[in-house]
Amino acid sequence: MPLEISAARPDPALLDLPWSIPLEEWPQDLLAALPRGISRHVVRFARLSGSVIAIKEIKADIARREFQMLRQLGRLDQPCVEPLGVVTGRTDAAGEPLDACLITRHLQFSLPYRVVFSQHLREDTAVRLLDALAVLLVRLHLVGYWWGDVSLSNTLFRRDAGAFAAYLVDAETGELHEQLTDGQRAHDIDIAQVNIAGEFMDLEASGVLPEGLDPVVMAQDIVTRYETLWHELTEDEWFDSGETWRVDQRIRRLNAQGFDVDELAIATDLDGTRIRIQPKVVDAGHHSRRLLRLTGLDVEENQARRLLNDLDSYTAATERQGEDEEIVAHDWLNRIYEPTVRAVPAELRGRLESAEIFHEVLEHRWFMAERLGHDIDIREALDDYLRHVLPGKPEERSVIDEERSS
Amino acid sequence: MATVKFDNATRVYPGNDSPSVDQLNIDIEDGEFLVLVGPSGCGKSTSLRMLAGLEEVNDGKIWIGDRDVTDLSPKDRDVAMVFQNYALYPHMSVAENMGFALKIAGEDKAQIRERVEEAAKILDLTQFLDRKPKALSGGQRQRVAMGRAIVRSPQVFLMDEPLSNLDAKLRVQTRTQIASLQRRLGVTTVYVTHDQVEAMTMGDRVALLKDGILQQCDSPRRMYDHPDNVFVAGFIGSPAMNLVSTPVVDGGVDFGTTTLQVERDALAEAGSRVIVGIRPEDVELTSEGDGMAIVVDVVEELGADAYIYGSAEDAAQVDSGEDDDGVKPFIARVDGRRPPRKGETIYIKPQEGHLHVFNAESGHRIGH
Q: Which of B11, B45, B48, B54 is best to mutate for the A interface (most A CBs within 10 A)?
A: B54
Query: Does the beta carbon of B91 lie under 8 angstroms from any beta carbon of chain A?
Result: yes
pLDDT at position B324 = 53
Instruction: Give the model's confidence band at B85: pLDDT under 50 very low, under 70 low, under 90 confident, else very high.
Output: low
Distance from CA of B363 to the nearest CA of A (A): 34
The tally of domains found in chain A comes to 4
pLDDT at position B109 = 94
Backbone angles phi, psi at A384, to 5 degrees: -65, -40
Q: Which of B40, B69, B78, B100 is best to mutate for the A interface (most A CBs within 10 A)?
A: B100
pLDDT at position B116 = 96
Average pLDDT for residues A239-256, to the nearest whole number? Answer: 84
Mean pLDDT across chain B: 90
Number of CB pairs < 8 Å for A and B? 100
- Residue A226 lies inside a defined structural domain of this protein: yes
Across A327-331, A372-376, B163-167, B229-233, least confident range: B163-167
**Where exactly are the structural domains of chain B?**
4-225, 240-366
Query: Does the beta carbon of A403 lie under 8 angstroms from any beta carbon of chain B?
Result: yes
Instruction: Give the model's confidence band at A19: pLDDT under 50 very low, under 70 low, under 90 confident, else very high.
Output: very high
Average pLDDT for residues A262-288, to the nearest whole number? Answer: 84
Which residue of chain B has the CA closest to A179?
B14
Query: Does the beta carbon of A155 lie under 8 angstroms from any beta carbon of chain B?
Result: no
- Residue A397 lies inside a defined structural domain of this protein: no
B74/A201 touch (CB, cutoff 8 Å), yes or no: no
A405 has pLDDT over 50: no
pLDDT at position A404 = 56
B152 has pLDDT over 50: yes
A194/B89 touch (CB, cutoff 8 Å), yes or no: no
Contact A18, A30 (CB under 8 A): yes
Distance from CA of B148 to the nearest CA of A (A): 11
pLDDT at position A271 = 83
CB nearest to A191's CB, from B84, B89, B141? B84
- Residue A401 lies inside a defined structural domain of this protein: no
Query: Does the beta carbon of A37 lie under 8 angstroms from any beta carbon of chain B?
Result: yes
User: Do A89 and A121 fall into the same domain?
Assistant: no
B140 has pLDDT over 90: no
A186/B90 touch (CB, cutoff 8 Å), yes or no: no
Q: What is the pLDDT of residues A128-184, one digit of tens each?
A: 899 999 999 999 999 999 999 999 999 999 999 988 999 999 999 899 999 999 999
Backbone angles phi, psi at B139, to 5 degrees: -65, -40
Q: Which domain holds residue A223?
A: 110-234
CB nearest to B87's CB, from A59, A182, A405? A405
B53/A187 touch (CB, cutoff 8 Å), yes or no: yes
- Residue A406 lies inside a defined structural domain of this protein: no
Mean pLDDT across chain A: 89
Query: Does the beta carbon of B55 lie under 8 angstroms from any beta carbon of chain A?
Result: yes
B82 compared with A325, residue with greater pLDDT: A325
pLDDT at position B69 = 97
Distance from CA of B57 to the nearest CA of A (A): 11
Instruction: Give the model's confidence band at A40: pLDDT under 50 very low, under 70 low, under 90 confident, else very high.
Output: confident
Average pLDDT for residues A365-383, to the nearest whole number? Answer: 93
- Residue A143 lies inside a defined structural domain of this protein: yes
pLDDT at position B325 = 57
B4-225 CATH pick, 2.40.170.20, 3.10.580.10, 3.40.50.300, 3.30.230.10: 3.40.50.300
B321 compared with A274, residue with greater pLDDT: A274
A219/B81 touch (CB, cutoff 8 Å), yes or no: no
User: Do A120 and A220 fall into the same domain?
Assistant: yes
Euclidean distance between CA atoms B13 and A101, whole angstroms: 34
Query: Does the beta carbon of B86 lie under 8 angstroms from any beta carbon of chain A?
Result: yes
A406 has pLDDT over 50: no
B102 has pLDDT over 50: yes
Average pLDDT for residues B299-310, to the nearest whole number? Answer: 92
B124 has pLDDT over 70: yes
pLDDT at position B32 = 97
Domain with residue A29: its CATH number is 3.30.200
Q: Which of A158-162, A241-245, B165-169 has maximum average pLDDT?
A: A158-162
> Given CA atoms B252, B253, B258, B262 in this order, what sign does their dihedral have?
negative
Instruction: Give the model's confidence band at A122: pLDDT under 50 very low, under 70 low, under 90 confident, else very high.
Output: low
Cα–Cα distance list, B276 to B100, B257, B279, B332, B349 (Å) = 56, 15, 10, 15, 11
Average pLDDT for residues A308-331, to the nearest whole number? Answer: 91
A353 has pLDDT over 70: yes
pLDDT at position B326 = 61
Residue A145 with chain B: CB contacts under 8 Å = none
Average pLDDT for residues A106-117, to the nearest whole number? Answer: 88
User: Do A302 and A252 fall into the same domain?
Assistant: no
Q: Show the CA angle centred on residue A154, arms to residues A304 and A42, nearest 5°.
A: 135
User: Do A61 and A114 fall into the same domain?
Assistant: no
User: Do A249 and A190 fall into the same domain?
Assistant: no
Residue A403 with chain B: CB contacts under 8 Å = 90
Query: Does the beta carbon of B156 lie under 8 angstroms from any beta carbon of chain A?
Result: no
- Residue A25 lies inside a defined structural domain of this protein: yes
B54/A59 touch (CB, cutoff 8 Å), yes or no: no
Three state DSSP letters for chain B: CCCEEEEEEEECCCCCCCCCEEEEEEEECCCCEEEEECCCCCCHHHHHHHHHCCCCCCEEEEEECCEECCCCCHHHHCEEECCCCCCCCCCCCHHHHHHHHHHHCCCCHHHHHHHHHHHHHHHCCHHHCCCCHHHCCHHHHHHHHHHHHHCCCCCEEEEECCCCCCCHHHHHHHHHHHHHHHHHHCCEEEEEECCHHHHHHHCCEEEEEECCEEEEEECHHHHHHCCCEHHHHHHCCCCCCEEEEEEEECCEEEECCEEEECCHHHHCCCCCEEEEEECHHHEEEECCCCCEEEEEEEEEECCCEEEEEEEECCCCECCCCCCCCCCCCEEEEEECCCCCCCCCEEEEEECCCCCEEEECCCCEEECC
Residue A182 with chain B: CB contacts under 8 Å = 73
B87/A191 touch (CB, cutoff 8 Å), yes or no: no
pLDDT at position A256 = 85
Q: What is the pLDDT of residues B7-40, one digit of tens each?
A: 999 999 988 889 999 999 999 999 999 999 999 9
- Residue A404 lies inside a defined structural domain of this protein: no
User: Do A182 and A123 fall into the same domain?
Assistant: yes
Across A175-184, A372-381, B267-276, least confident range: B267-276
A201/B134 touch (CB, cutoff 8 Å), yes or no: no
Instruction: Give the model's confidence band at A39: pLDDT under 50 very low, under 70 low, under 90 confident, else very high.
Output: low
Query: Does the beta carbon of B169 lie under 8 angstroms from any beta carbon of chain A?
Result: no
User: Do A23 and A74 fall into the same domain?
Assistant: yes
Domain with residue A150: its CATH number is 1.10.510.10
CB nearest to A193's CB, from B15, B96, B104? B104
B101/A197 touch (CB, cutoff 8 Å), yes or no: yes
A9 compared with B58, residue with greater pLDDT: B58
Average pLDDT for residues A360-378, to the nearest whole number? Answer: 93
